[in-house]
């Protein structure tokens, strides 16, 4: 294109723009009926009217510095299709896509758009941990601070878990570990990141978040996550008020070609690649001991208490004084030798007295015959703590001489044969069972399958209380 034709093209494009919109100044508000428009949006409209890369370059050379800066800061024309919010009257936008898709940028841009439209808004920022909220959602390369436009400022106050926007809006950081912190606060908008890897209290954190999402005329939330077939993700996906966007890593045109090629060469076609790159929601881990179909087939009505020959409470004590989960699962066996999961009383974030009291309550509530507790992590201290809470509690300590998967395999086999059942629905326990693989890997929620291990201990004691492979009864 010649210089003369480029100049003519710029004049033609500018001539199509109303006079009151032709201004410089990256954040200057426009007059008249378009007062809600800024030069950034105007720049996007102009770029959309230019038909080729060469024409775009020549056109940009004729723009002022502030206009170019505003154009570069505007995300609308740079976003690929999966990063654009879906139309419709949704309450939750679930953006579930592969790594490198641009989920974080899309979430941050969406939240900024809400904040710009509503000065003074109260917004929630929820991640798997406070550290991830700070490092990814706020301070990361695609975080809220990084994508602020010229004239926009954000002030992160980590000790107060608070992000102040220059227009008076306020963001509050929450960890999915601390579900109760979301009980009470109210918000206009929310952004929940990597929800698929939230720890066990994540479901409660989500419920509390959504119950507090009630300010303004149209409170909404965006969820950005890599696919993971945990109960929380599946329940949000199934909700009528959810609009979902799926996407693959390859859709991000800003990703370096060399990175994309290496990822495809290394992981394409593998289960990890399907989930982490293609963005597929895979229901079963590779070699799952408890495939989802088996879990569904195992559901049965609870046995009549009088038909139960024996009831025990399996306990997998936490590995630290506070913070880790304590698996507490009640199981029974009937006169036909069929074992049942009756209840999941697991707790998290409690000290020794707290989880021991939960064990005692489970024992009392079900009239259990015995408590079966692993001693590997705490030794004789486990029994001591339990007896401090309830001196007459009948406790049998067990020691693992083989790994979790080796202990779980005989129990999984009983489920396959219909000799073990789930007397109800136990979402957190089921997610852990589905995450156990014959390879020895664990791909479920949390760091360790505490609930699943407690169930295995209980059922092992019921079906082979004296001679159990890999288990020593003390």
| Percentage with pLDDT > 90 across the chain | 50
Task: Show the tokens assigned to 77.
Answer: 């024309």
Query: What pLDDT score does 72 carry?
Result: 78
Does 13 or 103 have the greater pLDDT score? 103
Q: Summarize pLDDT for 406-444 with one digit per residue, the tens.
A: 889 999 999 999 999 999 889 889 889 999 998 888 888
Does 173 or 248 have the greater pLDDT score? 173
Tell me: pLDDT of 2 over 60: no
DSSP conformation letters of 318-342: -SSSSSSEEEEEEEEEETTS-EEEE
Region 157-174: mean pLDDT is 96
Tell me: pLDDT of 22 over 60: no
CB 178 within 8 A of CB 159: no
Tell me: pLDDT of 468 over 60: no
Most confident of 4-18, 146-160, 193-207, 379-393: 146-160
Q: Summarize pLDDT for 134-155 with one digit per residue, the tens.
A: 999 999 999 999 999 988 999 9
Indicate the pairing of strand 189-193 with strand 122-127: parallel
Tell me: pLDDT of 253 over 60: yes
Region 240-252: mean pLDDT is 86
Region 287-312: mean pLDDT is 89
Q: 81-119 burial string, b = 16+ CB within 10 Å, else e?
A: ebbebeeeebebbbbbbbbbbbbbbbbbbbbbebbbebe
Region 241-260: mean pLDDT is 83
Query: What pLDDT score does 174 carry?
Result: 97
Give the chain's mean pLDDT: 83
Tell me: pLDDT of 287 over 60: yes
pLDDT band at 46 (very low <50, low <70, confident <90, very high): low
d(CA 186, CA 16): 45
Tell me: pLDDT of 21 over 50: no
CB 117 within 8 A of CB 210: no
Query: What pLDDT score does 406 carry?
Result: 83
User: Domains, the chain, ranges and CATH?
Assistant: 3-73 (no CATH), 81-276 (3.40.50.300), 292-473 (3.30.420.240)
pLDDT band at 74 (very low <50, low <70, confident <90, very high): confident
Angle formed at CA 48 by CA 42 and CA 53, multiple of 5 degrees: 125
Most confident of 273-287, 345-359, 389-403: 345-359
Query: What pLDDT score does 49 carry?
Result: 64
| Percentage with pLDDT > 70 across the chain | 84
Tell me: pLDDT of 318 over 90: no
Whole-prediction pTM? 0.59
Q: Summarize pLDDT for 192-244 with one digit per residue, the tens.
A: 999 988 987 788 999 999 999 999 999 999 999 988 878 888 889 888 999 99
Region 294-304: mean pLDDT is 88
Tell me: pLDDT of 121 over 90: yes
Alpha helices in 94-155 (DSSP H): 103-117, 130-132
Nearest C-alpha neighbor of 166 from the set 144, 190, 188: 144
Residue 290 gets which letter from DSSP? Answer: S
Query: What pLDDT score does 73 carry?
Result: 80
pLDDT band at 35 (very low <50, low <70, confident <90, very high): very low
Region 118-135: mean pLDDT is 96
Region 324-337: mean pLDDT is 93
Does 98 or 337 have the greater pLDDT score? 337
CB 130 within 8 A of CB 175: yes
Tell me: pLDDT of 449 over 80: yes
CA 268 to chain centre: 24
Does 70 or 186 have the greater pLDDT score? 186
pLDDT band at 158 (very low <50, low <70, confident <90, very high): very high
Query: What pLDDT score does 433 carry?
Result: 93
Tell me: pLDDT of 317 over 70: yes
pLDDT band at 11 (very low <50, low <70, confident <90, very high): low
Q: Summarize pLDDT for 101-119 with one digit per residue, the tens.
A: 889 999 999 999 999 999 9
CB 136 within 8 A of CB 146: no
Query: What pLDDT score does 33 carry?
Result: 39
Does 40 or 174 have the greater pLDDT score? 174
């Amino acid at each position: 294109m010649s210089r003369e034709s480029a100049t003519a093209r710029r004049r033609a494009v500018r001539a199509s723009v109303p006079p009151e919109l032709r201004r410089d100044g990256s954040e200057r508000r426009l007059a008249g009926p378009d007062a809600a428009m800024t030069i950034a949006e105007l720049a996007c409209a102009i770029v959309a009217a230019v038909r080729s890369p060469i024409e775009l370059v020549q056109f940009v050379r004729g723009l002022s510095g502030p206009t170019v800066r505003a154009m570069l800061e505007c995300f609308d024309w740079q976003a690929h299709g999966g990063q654009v919010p879906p139309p419709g009257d949704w309450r939750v936008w679930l953006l579930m896509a592969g790594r490198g898709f641009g989920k974080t940028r899309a979430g941050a841009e969406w939240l900024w758009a809400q904040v710009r439209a509503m000065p003074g808004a109260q917004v929630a920022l929820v991640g798997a941990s406070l550290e991830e909220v700070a490092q990814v959602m706020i301070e990361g390369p695609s975080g809220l601070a990084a994508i602020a436009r010229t004239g926009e400022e954000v002030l992160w106050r980590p000790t107060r878990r608070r992000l102040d926007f220059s227009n008076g809006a306020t963001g509050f950081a929450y960890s999915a570990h601390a579900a109760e912190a979301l009980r009470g606060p109210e918000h206009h908008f929310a952004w929940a990141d990597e929800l698929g890897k939230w720890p066990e209290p994540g479901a409660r954190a989500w419920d509390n978040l959504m119950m507090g999402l009630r300010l303004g005329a149209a409170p909404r939330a965006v969820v950005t996550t890599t696919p993971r077939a945990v109960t929380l993700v599946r329940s949000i996906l199934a909700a009528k008020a959810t609009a979902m966007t799926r996407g693959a890593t390859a859709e991000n045109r800003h990703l370096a070609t060399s990175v994309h090629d290496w990822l495809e060469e290394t992981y394409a076609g593998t289960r990890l690649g399907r989930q982490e790159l293609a963005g597929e929601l895979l229901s079963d881990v590779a070699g799952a001991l408890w495939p989802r179909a088996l879990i569904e087939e195992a559901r049965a009505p609870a046995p009549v208490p009088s038909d139960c020959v024996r009831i025990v409470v399996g306990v997998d004590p936490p590995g630290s004084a506070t913070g880790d989960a304590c698996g507490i699962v009640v199981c029974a066996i009937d006169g036909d030798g069929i074992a049942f999961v009756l209840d999941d009383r697991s707790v998290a974030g409690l000290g020794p007295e707290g989880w021991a009291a939960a064990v005692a309550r489970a024992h009392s509530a079900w009239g259990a015959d015995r408590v079966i507790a692993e001693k590997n992590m705490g030794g004789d201290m486990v029994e001591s703590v339990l007896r401090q809470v309830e001196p007459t509690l009948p406790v049998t300590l067990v020691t693992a001489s083989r790994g979790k998967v080796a202990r779980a395999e005989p129990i999984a086999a009983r489920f396959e044969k219909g000799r073990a059942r789930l007397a109800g629905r136990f979402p957190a326990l089921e997610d852990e069972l589905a995450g156990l693989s014959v390879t020895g890997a664990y791909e479920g929620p949390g760091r360790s399958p505490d609930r699943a291990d407690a169930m295995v201990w209980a059922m092992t004691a019921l079906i082979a209380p004296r001679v159990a492979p890999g288990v020593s009864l003390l």
